[in-house]
Amino acid sequence: MLSIPLLACLLLTATAADGAVAHPRALRSTSPTCAATTVTVQKPPVTVQKPPVTVQKPAVTVQKPAVTVTVQKSPVTVRLPPVTVTSKVTVRLTEQYNPVAATTRTTSAGPGHQQPTSVTSPRAGTSSAAVVVRPSSTVAAGSSQTSGVTANGYRNVLYFTNWGIYGADYQPQQLPASQITHVLYSFADIASDGTVISSDTYADLQKHYTTDSWNDQGNNAYGCVKQLYLLKKKNRQLKVLLSIGGWTYSTKFAPIAATAAGRQRFASSAVTLVKDWGFDGIDIDWEYPTDTTEAANFVLLLQACRQALDQYAAQYAPGYHFIISVASAAGPANYKYMDFTGMDRYVDMWNLMAYDYAGSWDTTSGHQANIYPNPSNPTATKFNTDQAVRDYISKGLSSKKIMMGLPLYGRSFEATNGIGQSYSGVGSGSSGTAGVWLYKDLPRSGAQELYDNTAKASYSYDSSTKELISYDNVGSAVTKAGYLKQKGLGGAVFWEASGDRNGTKSLVGTLATQLGALDSTPNLLSYPNSQYANIKAGMPGN
């Protein structure tokens, strides 16, 4: 008797600028093996009754390529190896995955394949799809199956700073939680040995709000950390990421990323804060790797973080995918060294800092967040968002991973005759930083709002004081929403929460409305080994 089972399996594990200057402020999958062939012949020979039957050993050729696939919240194409068969066999595509929200896995029939076209799993685990190869057919290289977690909406991402609770008096309870999908809580500091640490323990963990008791038993988290957890409980689509670095702390990245010990300490300590504070991932804001060596070390740092987050999830949050995002430059000089392909294996969101294209460092006034260049006024548009988006996509990034940055502030130029003209001074501003005005304070009294239709950029100008301020308003935000949808981008990201208005003039709200259905993949509320009793218990009674 002759039995020839052929198993070809692909193990798919889901583990998934600023312009010229810095701002003040994966799913990962690998398929390591593919295919095994077993031929078993039993003796003595089988006796066949009339009529005689001759059984020939069919030729089966299976190649075993190494396949690496990056999976985001949108379908990806998994390339199958060449498989030639001369008898009917069953090829099984086995997927081990951690669904974020959607649990329907889609397998598209390719050449020589029959149905099924989809497999649905009710929970995290392993699902198998039988793909039947027709007799005498060839599954050629280039045939494909499609697998992945389908994104169910756009991301509307908002940076929230721990220092904003002071001068700006912007508290976490003021976040427009129903209109956003992710909060990037900024910034964690980095110790000299690579340990990720709180930059302000009072703001993060100690500040008592009016609803906080002074009589709780045990070690409890208060401050912004507690309030963010409570927002997550009430808004299950809201994911909170710990943003590490920023301009102030960015010089600390290079030395710790240069050694395996530093990278490991960074990753493990970042995970410790994530699980202690009840967060959903990390955002890394390194501004910026200055050469190819630092860029390569950035990839290794991301790899260490991805592994540490996945290891924690496997033990304490099975089936949950912790997010990794990076703040990424929009100025070519600042992203020219980036290893996009290497980084993208571990990055879920690229938060494109599409602002600060012009400011106090320039010799002329200019647009700080324009979409396109204006050839007739080149000094006003030294950088542009469209070039960065096209460059990122040309490097192989999925457009769905790119979040388009919008500023919630404006940059001013004094004593100027208009956009792209010389100026003298930048003024005091309203944010505590010279020349920087919060969007909610704009336009200033006496100023007229103008729009550069070529560059797709708004600004205000006061002809009497000769003050020009470049910033986004509702009109330009609507245009940007249309642009990112047309480009197939994943959503928007704003710097930073305290600058926005309330009501119909909110830019965050404008994007939420314009984008339509927002990503509703659920956050995580279970942190069984948090050091804080109230987070470990899930904030009972709140």
Catalytic residues: 287
Q: Are strands 349-352 and 67-70 parallel, antiparallel or unpaired?
A: unpaired
**CA R_g for the chain:** 27
Give CA–CA dist 468/463, Å, rounded: 9
Give CA–CA dist 277/287, Å, rounded: 25
Angle between helix 292-316 and helix 260-277 axes, rounded to 10 deg: 40
User: Please, how many CA atoms are within 13 Å of residue 323, restricted to the half-sphere of its CB?
Assistant: 30
Give CA–CA dist 386/371, Å, rounded: 6
Q: Which two tokens stand for residue 188?
A: 């964690």
Phi, psi of 154 (to 5 degrees): -80, 155
Task: Reduce the secondary structure of 10-79 to three states and give it as a string.
Answer: CCEECCCCCCCCCCCCCCEEEECCCCEECCEECCCCCCCCCCCCCCCCCCCEECCCCEEEECECECEEEE
The distance in angstroms from the start CA to the end CA of the chain is 68
Whether the Cβ atoms of residue 304 and residue 264 lie closer than 8 Å to each other: yes
In sequence order, the β-bridge partners of residue 452 are: 457
- Identify the H or E element spanning 197: strand 196-197
Whether the Cβ atoms of residue 206 and residue 223 lie closer than 8 Å to each other: yes
Give CA–CA dist 174/190, Å, rounded: 28
CA-to-CA separations, 524 to 28, 99, 322, 341, in angstroms, rounded:
19, 13, 9, 29
Q: Which two tokens stand for residue 429?
A: 């501003």
User: Please, how many CA atoms are within 13 Å of residue 59, restricted to the half-sphere of its CB?
Assistant: 5
Whether the Cβ atoms of residue 515 and residue 165 lie closer than 8 Å to each other: no
Whether the Cβ atoms of residue 359 and residue 427 lie closer than 8 Å to each other: no
411 burial via Cβ count (<10 Å: 0-12, 13-18, 19+) = buried
Q: Which two tokens stand for residue 479?
A: 């245009």
Whether the Cβ atoms of residue 279 and residue 241 lie closer than 8 Å to each other: yes
Q: In what order do the strands lie in the sheet with 448-452?
A: 436-438, 409-413, 467-470, 457-462, 448-452
Give CA–CA dist 343/327, Å, rounded: 12
